Amino acid sequence: MIKKIILSGFGNVGKEFVKLLNEKKSYIKEKYDLTLVLCGILEKDGCIYEDRGLDMSYLYDCPLGSRGILKYSDFNREAFYNYPVLEGDILVECTPSNIETGGPSLNYIINSINRGMDIVMLSKGALVTNFNQLIELANKKDVKIKYSGATAAALPTLDLGTYSLAASQIKNITGILNGTTNYILNRMFEDDISFEEALQEAVEKGIAERENSMDIDGIDSASKLLILSNSLMDTTYSLEDVSITGIRDIKKQHILQAKEENKVIKLLCKAYAKDGKWMLEVTPEKIDTNSLLGNIKGSNKGILFNTDTMGEIYLIGGASNPRGAAAAALKDIINIYI
Amino acid sequence: MIKKIILSGFGNVGKEFVKLLNEKKSYIKEKYDLTLVLCGILEKDGCIYEDRGLDMSYLYDCPLGSRGILKYSDFNREAFYNYPVLEGDILVECTPSNIETGGPSLNYIINSINRGMDIVMLSKGALVTNFNQLIELANKKDVKIKYSGATAAALPTLDLGTYSLAASQIKNITGILNGTTNYILNRMFEDDISFEEALQEAVEKGIAERENSMDIDGIDSASKLLILSNSLMDTTYSLEDVSITGIRDIKKQHILQAKEENKVIKLLCKAYAKDGKWMLEVTPEKIDTNSLLGNIKGSNKGILFNTDTMGEIYLIGGASNPRGAAAAALKDIINIYI
């Protein structure tokens, strides 16, 4: 089987996806009898498209973002289009997440679905803003839509909930879904440093971005929790339905006090039923230091599914980097077609 | 879609499967548009079969094993057959695991595949003795074969390896795959009791069976590791290829010595590559007390996949009881048909 891929977004993750696709191409052909061809890349300032597949050796030399597209079109002028060419079997969505409007990805996705293309998403934006619309449209047009990379990159939270827990009922979910805040809280715990010092260190190490409010204030965690809930618990919530507290106000003394009780503060994402209604909460909470979630170190993530038939299942780890995210997209593509 | 199920084995797990199927029937119909009908049950002394589906209220009153089949046929004489009736879409295999010959399940499975039936297995026997034959036959006859319940009941080790790690390469696996031995080692660690005392306690609590050599001597762990390796690493190994040491010789002093080093002894299942060859080992080993695998308490299980693209992914927990195993079979059925 041959499948033509259109990639939207040529940032860190998009370029990593291109590299990984190239690295794994023959393995995927051999193992799954699936030939994946990258035919197009969409960026803000234009699009490159070649029906026989883009030239990987050109692409490797191209810088990130629109500059990369323009550089590629210097190599091959005929490949450049000033509008999005959606001539493929599947769209892999890697543009930066915009959780207020959905960003340009929203249009790419809707247009692709309308053309009968399957969708794999790594960006959260359109899932946060237009979840139900996208799922309904995909159902109507009978295309597949997968987005496991949008809910914790390489940690397969959605796979577990949809595939491994098929026919099980989820009683509640507790997760640590943001690596940056876990890193900061862990550093405060380990070395008794302040929130500001830990944040500074995280920025210096490239774990936090300079613009880090989405992480610190719990919005990134809440977005992932929201997508999990709408996917697994059939809620139709939006971000306003999530009660969100970030970690900005966590002081040294809170950490010390927790320590004295053999506890550690973690930014927890919780989904639980109350009076027949699903409640979604992101909140810093004290938990036992030697519990499995309490033991999650550095910028790692983890999630606990409490179920009616399979007991408690923990999923912990998964690379929090562009390569891990790209691998999640590749896995989704394969699981759509095999 | 309607699918007719034939169940082989009406023991603890088999009966639990019947109950769970009945409990989840309308949920599965509504969520997956899949109607599952239990039409037959095979046991040592005969078979009951009704084309319109067996009567659940009769079945609930039937004792386990062949006696149950005979009691059902007292209710309805026409349902009884003295040979296995394989008139269904899928065989759910729940007979006791026989890892020396494959047991009666081997014939049930081969005959079912030859009739074009899909297969879901909870028993390990035939997978340990005839893995490659079964997979090849299933491929040849174009039927699906799933057995996630055979590799750690409700802990979805195989789902993670096949589905969530699609296109990832597994560098190595480390698991605690047997709940009984973990319970014993944990009790020895917690209360400084001897192996014999801990085993006795496990038997009294129903965590270990009276006939427990398969668990204690590491054979159960090795069987699961073998199935994982043959499934995920494309090895064609048999049980003789696994280096196996059980926990029978673990003394109080070993546990105490480990404790002094902040370590705990766990019965580890390890798969790793050495000189281009996969090595499989089951062996008691000292690991850090506050590592994620070191922290697995009671009769819980866990596994660590170390991968080339997704980093380290841990899966921990899952109910170790007949209901958890039955839920794993139900999940496999759904994932075959949706």
The answer to whether A310 faces chain B, any CB pair under 8 Å, is: yes
CA distance B73 to B309: 55
| Cβ-contact B66, B15 below 8 angstroms | no
Q: Which residue of B has its CA nearest to A165?
A: B331
Contact predicate A305/B316, CB 8 Å: no
- The reply to whether B337 touches chain A by the CB within 8 Å rule is no
Q: Are A88 and A4 in contact (CB under 8 A)?
A: yes
Which of B310, B315, B321, B331 is the best residue to mutate to test the A interface, defined by the most A CB atoms within 10 Å of its own CB? B310
| pLDDT tens digit at each of 338 positions of chain A | 999 999 999 999 999 999 999 999 999 999 999 999 999 999 999 999 999 999 999 999 999 999 999 999 999 999 999 999 999 999 999 999 899 999 899 999 999 999 999 999 999 999 999 999 999 999 999 999 999 999 988 999 999 999 999 999 999 999 999 999 999 999 999 999 999 999 999 999 989 988 999 999 999 999 999 999 999 999 999 999 999 999 999 999 999 999 999 999 999 999 999 999 999 999 999 999 989 999 999 999 999 999 999 999 999 999 889 999 999 999 999 999 99
| B335, closest residue in chain A (CA to CA) | A163
Chain A residues with CB-CB distance to B264 below 8 A? none
What ipTM is given for this predicted complex? Answer: 0.96
Fold classification of B2-154+322-337 is: Rossmann fold (3.40.50)
Largest CA distance in chain A: 67
CA angle B125, B130, B136 (to 5 degrees): 130
Name which of B291, B303, B160 is nearest A148 in CA terms: B160
Partners of B165 on chain A (C-beta within 8 Å) are: 331
Task: For residues A321 and A204, give the distance between their C-alpha atoms in angstroms, rounded to a whole number.
Answer: 16
B27/A295 touch (CB, cutoff 8 Å), yes or no? no
Q: Is B330 part of the contact surface with chain A (CB cutoff 8 Å)?
A: yes
In single-letter form, the type of residue at position B44 comes to K
At B153 the pLDDT is 86
Report the residue of chain B nearest A325, measured CA to CA.
B310
- A103-114 vs A125-141: helix crossing angle, rounded to 10: 10
Contacts of B47 (CB under 8 A, 6+ apart): B40, B41, B69, B80, B81, B82, B83, B84, B85
Please name every residue paired with B182 in a beta bridge, in sequence order, or none if there are none: none
pLDDT at residue number B111 = 97
Q: Do B168 and A310 touch (CB under 8 A)?
A: no
Residues of B in contact with A330 (CB under 8 A): 166-167, 309
pLDDT above 90: residue B319: no
Nearest by CB to residue A330, choosing from B156, B167, B302, is B167
A313–B312 CB contact, under 8 Å: no
Beta-ladder partners of A7: A41, A92
The CATH H-level (homologous superfamily) assignment of domain B161-316 is Dihydrodipicolinate Reductase; domain 2 (3.30.360.10)
Contact, A306 vs A312, CB < 8 A? yes
**For the sheet containing A312-317, what is the strand order?**
A242-244, A277-288, A263-274, A170-176, A302-307, A312-317, B312-317, B302-307, B170-176, B263-274, B277-288, B242-244
Domain assignments of chain A as residue spans, ordered by start:
2-154+322-337, 160-316
Split at pLDDT 50, 70, 90, the class of B2 is very high
How large is the average pLDDT for residues B208-237?
96
Q: CB of A166 within 8 Å of any CB in chain B? A: yes
A185 at B interface, C-beta within 8 A: no
Nearest-CA neighbor of A156 among B21, B192, B227, B164? Answer: B164
Instruction: Give residues 111 to 150 of A whose Cβ lies within 8 Å of B.
Output: 148
CB A90, CB A336: distance < 8 Å: yes
**Chain A interface includes B59 (CB < 8 A):** no
pLDDT band at B320 (very low <50, low <70, confident <90, very high): confident
Catalytic member of B4, B124, B224, B301: B224
Q: Please state, rounded to an integer, the average pLDDT across all residues of chain B.
A: 96
pLDDT on residue A320: 85
Cβ B167–A312 below 8 Å, yes or no?
no
Give the C-alpha separation, B252 to B193, whole Å: 7
Query: What is the pLDDT, as a whole number, of residue A153?
Result: 86
Per DSSP, the residues of A101-122 read: T-HHHHHHHHHHHHTT-EEEE-
Q: Which residues from B are below 8 Å from A302, CB to CB?
A: 314
* Contacts A27 to B, Cβ<8 Å: 167, 169
Q: Given an 8 Å threshold on Cβ–Cβ distance, is B323 in contact with A313?
A: no
> Which candidate in A4, A224, A263, A286 is catalytic?
A224
A212 burial class (0-12, 13-18, 19+ CB within 10 angstroms)? middle
Cβ of residue A336 closer than 8 Å to a chain B Cβ: no
Measured in angstroms, the CA of B230 and the nearest CA of chain A are apart by 15
Residues 6+ apart with CB under 8 A from A106: A125, A126, A129, A130
B73-106: pLDDT as tens digits: 999 999 999 999 999 999 999 999 899 999 899 9
Q: Is A224 a catalytic residue?
A: yes
Q: pLDDT tens for residues B97-126?
A: 899 999 899 999 999 999 999 999 999 999
Q: What percent of the residues of chain A are helix, what percent strand, and what percent coil, each to the nearest 5? A: 45, 25, 35
Contact list, A327 vs chain B (CB under 8 Å): 167-168, 309-310
Type of residue numbered B38: L
A318 shares contact with chain B (CB less than 8 Å): yes
Binding-face residues of A in 196-215 toward B, CB within 8 A:
none
Q: Among partner residues B32, B160, B167, which is closest to A334 by beta-carbon distance? A: B167
| Residue of chain A whose Cα is closest to the Cα of B330 | A167
Q: Is A2 on the interface with B (CB under 8 A)?
A: no
Q: Are B331 and A167 in contact (CB under 8 A)?
A: yes
Given a cut of 90, whether residue B267 has pLDDT beyond it is yes
Question: CA B169 to CA A162: how far, in whole Å?
Answer: 23
Of A160, A166, A317, the CB nearest to B312: A317
* DSSP conformation class of A20: H
CB A265 within 8 A of CB A255: yes
Cβ partners under 8 Å of residue A269, min gap 6: A173, A174, A175, A176, A177, A221, A222, A224, A225, A280, A281, A282
Interface touch B315/A311, C-beta < 8 Å: no
Q: How many CA atoms lie within 13 A of B332 on its CB side?
A: 33
Q: Would you call B295 an interface residue with chain A, using a CB distance cutoff of 8 Å?
A: yes
User: Chain B: nearest CA to A78, how far in angstroms?
Assistant: 33
The confidence score (pLDDT) of residue B166 equals: 96
B313 touches chain A (CB under 8 A): yes
Contact A154 B335 (CB under 8 A): no
CATH class of A160-316: alpha beta
Contact A292 B292 (CB under 8 A): yes
